[in-house]
Amino acid sequence: MTASSAALRTPRQRGAALAGVAMAIGLALAGCQSGPYEPPRFPFAPGFKAAGRSVPVLLANSAWWERLGDPVLNRLVAHALRGNPSITAAQARIAQARAAFAATPRAVGLSPGAGLSLEGTDGSDPVASGTLDLGFSWLLDPYGARRAERQAAGGRITVAEAETDAARLALIRAMATAYVDLRFSQRRLALHEQEMRNRRQTLAMTRTLFAAEAATRLEITRSEARLAEIEAELPLRRAAITARQNEIAVLAGMAPGNVGLLGVDLDMRAGQPRPALSPEVGIPADLLRNRPDIRIAERRYYIALADLGQANAALYPRLSLIGTLSVTALRGGRSGAEYSFGPALQLPAIPGTAARATVDGSRARVTEAHAIWKSTVLGAILEVENALLDYQATSASAQASDTAVRLYAEALDLTRKVFAESNATLGDLIDAEQALANAEQTRADMRARRGQSFVDLNTRLGAGSAGTAPETPVALQQQSG
């Protein structure tokens, strides 16, 4: 190309030539600073193998607390989801993340401005003038810096949403756990009061026999000691009930002692919640997407990848097209316009040690995020497996405790009949009553443990993190007894 033809180039052609030179310089500079980075691959298959012949029914059980068959618990969970401050704070973090995403720079930007002035001196008339300015910028993004920035900001929205799901799930778990423990404490108190009445009857019977010279003073003393022993435990049982009620009030967003404002009667002794779900539930294949903590870890990994993309893009030149238009109007109809338009090139620093260090640090954070994600997945699998084993074990123990109570009750009835016929001693009757009382305490404990393991299993699976209460699936309508 001759010199005369080069001189005839238009400004657009000269701008394109400058852009081409900028790209060539950028490739030359970046080529010696950083090579392509291959993100680590996920080592796990998309799903998990179900256990035995079981089917993954718990995954669809988004309102699993309803399967405990207690309408009071359902109302308490609804109160907590509406009034607990932790949910409000988590939702505010979502709004912050969305605002940060909206604040990320756009590829094209306009910056208009206007002004009006009046100038003059004491000896001259004032001169009015007005200006109108319009700035224009267009960021070329061949290396994906801006795209990576928006991906990272969008990922933080997903993290905030998953953290809200995690807070919601933790709140439901805490409320269900406190409620199950409340009903267990009330049941234990009822059993202690019943046992206290039985011991008083036994003491009265012992005193009657002592008057008839059919019992000894030692037997009276032992009966009195047994009665004093059970009376000593009652204040602790009542205090435990009040403590659980206070915990429930706080979880619902109220001060301790304000349980009555929830519109439920927690002083009324209801039955212990019993899960209406078979213990043969297996592991759902969608565990990776169902648990909020796994979604958080996975999205943080992708955010780290986006940050790495930004760091890599900083090794390359930054090219923008900018322009300005300024219009000035004076009194009397005079006006003028000025404009400018052209590319702006920002080259990376040489030798670029700081930029390369930033890339190395970002790459290390990617590796860390991936390791955390992998550890989170492995921990989730372990938690679900152990929670499933515990639920199966407590279900079997609860059934066995029902049998034990039934048999000890029959044994007590037989002992009373034999005692009435003078073929059993008072000690035999006391032992039979104590055996039944212990069996009933064990049954209450097993039912509480089964309820707690049901809560634990569902929360380990991530079920209910959306906090919704849809219609219960038919697959969940199984009564395990």
Convert the pLDDT of each residue in 184-243 to its tens digit: 999 999 998 888 888 888 888 888 888 887 778 888 888 888 889 888 989 999 999 999
The mean pLDDT value for 120-127 works out to 69
Which percentage of the chain shows pLDDT scores above 70? Answer: 79
Of 408, 407, 403, give the one whose Cα is nearest residue 481: 403
- Which carries the bigger pLDDT value, residue 339 or residue 428? 428
pLDDT of residue 281: 57
State the Cα–Cα distance between residues 72 and 271, nearest whole angstrom. Answer: 11
Question: Could you give the domains of the chain?
Answer: 41-116+128-471 (1.20.1600.10)
pLDDT of residue 304: 92
Asked whether the beta carbons of 116 and 128 are under 8 A apart, the reply is: yes
pLDDT of residue 445: 93
Across the chain, which distance is largest between two alpha carbons, in Å?
138
Structure confidence by residue, pLDDT tens digits, 102-116: 888 877 777 788 877
pLDDT of residue 280: 58
Q: Tell me which residue has tokens 């043969």.
A: 280
Q: Tell me which residue has tokens 């933790």.
A: 170
Q: What is the mean pLDDT of the chain?
A: 77
CA distances from 259 to 171, 262, 264, 431 (A): 17, 6, 8, 40
pLDDT of residue 467: 58
Structure confidence by residue, pLDDT tens digits, 396-435: 999 999 999 999 999 999 998 888 887 888 788 888 988 9
pLDDT of residue 99: 92
CB atoms within 10 A of CB 201: 12
Asked whether the beta carbons of 249 and 262 are under 8 A apart, the reply is: yes
Q: Indicate if the pLDDT at residue 24 is higher than 50.
A: no
pLDDT of residue 410: 94
Give the confidence band of 60 by pLDDT, cuts at 50, 70, 90: low
Give the confidence band of 310 by pLDDT, cuts at 50, 70, 90: confident
Q: Tell me which residue has tokens 């928006």.
A: 150
Going 456 to 461 to 466 to 469, the CA torsion angle's sign is negative
pLDDT of residue 409: 93
- Which carries the bigger pLDDT value, residue 289 or residue 171? 171
pLDDT of residue 38: 41
Q: Which residues pair with 319 in a beta bridge?
A: 345
Q: Indicate if the pLDDT at residue 1 is higher than 60.
A: no
State the Cα–Cα distance between residues 184 and 38, nearest whole angstrom. Answer: 55
CA distances from 381 to 49, 61, 95, 301 (A): 11, 19, 32, 19
Q: Indicate if the pLDDT at residue 9 is higher than 60.
A: no
The mean pLDDT value for 277-303 works out to 75
The mean pLDDT value for 272-289 works out to 66
Which percentage of the chain shows pLDDT scores above 90? Answer: 26
